Structure 1
Amino acid sequence: MNGYEEIIRGYLDKAWARSEEGLREAAPAVLEAPGILTFHAFGLRCSVKRHGVFFDGVLDTGAKGVLTAIYLAVVPTRSAPLHPLKAFKEIPNSGPYQAAFAVHAEQALVPYVPTIRQNLEAILAAFSGHRNTDAPSGDFSFTLYPLPKIPLYYIIHEADDEFPAAVTCLFGGDCPSFMPLDALADVAEYTAQSLIDRCLRRHGAPS
């Protein structure tokens, strides 16, 4: 058992300490069978058992498994509002993580903006997302749910003759009370990585 597996099992022990029905409601998820919850996470079908987290049927012993287990251990039962939106830098105590967040959650997506636009409908379907009709700026905007109660609101500026492409990632207003701050930053980073992986599978590396 590697270090991540121990962490995952520790958080899953906390998660399953609730009743099955309480955990199903909080996630929210489908109770597929006793001791098996299913929902979508990071654009994949996620099954959570008492001993592990599975994506598309494969046991995950990495960071996404850890983040999913943390989420289930701490997520409250109440609903998760999308508004008011918060930039990561507006979240208290986010200073130590801001530079890494900008690089890994936002700037990493810039080369893939054309591919994201081209495949947006498939991305929205995978992440239970939707287009944003209220975006204050940008060429297109959408919300993804890497975890059921963690909305990430993206505003995309496409490149033109004057400015390069840009990506802004905002959090749904109550996200900081649904996961620890460092885990929230990691959720955004691994959501970006999931989008990049999806783009690479479809179109290869950007030129």
Structure 2
Amino acid sequence: MQKSEAFDRIIADYLQQIAGLDLVRRADRLGIAVEGRQAVIPFFGFDHRVTPEGVVGPGGRPASHAVSVILFKYLLLCPDAAPTGEEWVTYKDFKDAAPFVEGFLNTAERPVAKDFAGRSGELESACRRLGGRQAALGMTADLVVRFAALPKVPLALVFNDLDADFPAACTLLFQRSAQGYLDMECLAMCAMVMARWLRHHAADPPPWESGVGLL
């Protein structure tokens, strides 16, 4: 089976599951809007629409496979009550993260550190374009930015630029409650997509306007 065919089957299966959901009952718990049969979900500051036919991103372009899966799972895993745990933790601190930690490092934290070494000002600008805002969070670093990856899933980027003694380093943090909204694979995918979008948002125009394919 071709990769694209496998992806199409995965999306079709999710759409079938989504069709049976009561979106209105999930709206307040997930911080989303419902318009008819569509769920409007902000993802890193950009509205995406989950429709019976698929996920539509900014500019009316179809969302990528990764983004579509994240949004489907956000709807499907909606908790009955708000999860607790506002403390910030690293990805590896989550109980079920172990199988995905190396991939998380290789597709999210390490690429951001590499892409923006010596370019902290450009990183700050790219973060703003994804809705990121500087936040103290009780941490000392060259740049600390908080994002709303999803309405109930904040993500923090902690960046220290290179200097004479150390290379650039990036750490991504989630609130512990994030594990109540998404599984570990999807949390890692959120970070992966963010890293890719930051790279492209460091230049104008945004990737979906320039025709650049997104994860």
The TM-score bracket by the shorter chain reads 0.7 to 0.9
Please give the per-residue CA displacement for 1:139-175, whole angstroms capped at 9, x wherever unaligned. Answer: 1101112222221111110112221111000111111
TM alignment of 1:185-204, pairs within 5 A: 185-201=188-204
TM alignment of 1:73-92, pairs within 5 A: 73-76=76-79, 78-79=81-82, 83-92=86-95
Give me the identity figure in percent.
20
TM alignment of 1:103-114, pairs within 5 A: 103-113=106-116
2:29 to 26, 32, 51: 26
Residues 1:126 and 2:109 are matched in the alignment: no
2:178 to 144, 168, 175: 175
Matched to 2:192, the amino acid is: E
* Partners of 1:62 and 1:51 in 2: CA distance: 14
* Partners of 2:120 and 2:25 in 1: CA distance: 36
Q: Secondary structure at the match of 1:164?
A: coil
TM alignment of 1:46-85, pairs within 5 A: 46-56=48-58, 57-76=60-79, 78-79=81-82, 83-85=86-88
Q: What TM-score, normalized to structure 1?
A: 0.83
* Partners of 1:79 and 1:187 in 2: CA distance: 20
Q: What TM-score, normalized to structure 2?
A: 0.80
Checking the alignment, whether the CA contact within 8 Å between 1:153 and 1:170 is kept in structure 2 is: yes
* Partners of 1:2 and 1:132 in 2: CA distance: 42
Q: Residue 41 of structure 1 corresponds to which residue in structure 2?
A: 43
Q: Residue 20 of structure 2 corresponds to which residue in structure 1?
A: 17
Q: Residue 160 of structure 2 corresponds to which residue in structure 1?
A: 157
Residues 1:147 and 2:187 are matched in the alignment: no
Unaligned runs of 5+ in 1: 203-207
Matched to 1:39, the amino acid is: I
* Partners of 1:55 and 1:82 in 2: CA distance: 30
Checking the alignment, whether the CA contact within 8 Å between 1:135 and 1:155 is kept in structure 2 is: no
* Partners of 1:199 and 1:35 in 2: CA distance: 35
Give the superposed CA RMSD.
2.6
Checking the alignment, whether the CA contact within 8 Å between 2:94 and 2:176 is kept in structure 1 is: no
Checking the alignment, whether the CA contact within 8 Å between 2:41 and 2:71 is kept in structure 1 is: no
Count of aligned pairs: 201
Matched to 1:14, the amino acid is: Q
Change (3 A) 1:52 1:58: same
* Partners of 1:122 and 1:101 in 2: CA distance: 20
Matched to 1:30, the amino acid is: A
Checking the alignment, whether the CA contact within 8 Å between 2:127 and 2:145 is kept in structure 1 is: no
* Partners of 1:16 and 1:40 in 2: CA distance: 20
Q: Secondary structure at the match of 1:59?
A: coil
Please give the per-residue CA displacement for 1:54-80, whole angstroms capped at 9, x wherever unaligned. Answer: 111112352211121111111226446
Please give the per-residue CA displacement for 1:94-121, whole angstroms capped at 9, x wherever unaligned. Answer: 2221111112110100133355633635
